[in-house]
Amino acid sequence: MSEDSVQVIMVKLEHMESLISQVHEEVKRTNGRVTELEMESAEWRGRLESRRMFHMILTTVASGCVLAGIVWFITHSIN
């Protein structure tokens, strides 16, 4: 292999090393954005789940009040 061929290979390797470094930096930035999106998604799901629990409790209390009202009405209507 001639010295010129070695130099060409070395230049190409240096260029590839530079490209790999650039790709690595972009991957780190992308991973940061993905992590941020995952955290926002988890927060949104948590809020949704807490609202679901609140709605379940509110529905239970409201139906209990309606049932108590019906029982009260029936007992007072009979007397």
pLDDT digits (tens, 9 = 90+) for 2-59: 888 889 899 999 999 999 999 999 999 999 999 999 999 999 999 998 899 899 999 9
> Running DSSP on this structure, what letter comes out for residue 1?
-
Q: What's the confidence (pLDDT) of residue 1?
A: 76
What pLDDT, on a 0 to 100 scale, did the predictor assign at position 25? 94
pLDDT of residue 62: 96
Q: What is the largest CA-CA distance in the chain?
A: 114
Residue type at 27 in one-letter notation: V
Give residue 79's pLDDT.
Answer: 66
Q: What's the confidence (pLDDT) of residue 29? A: 93
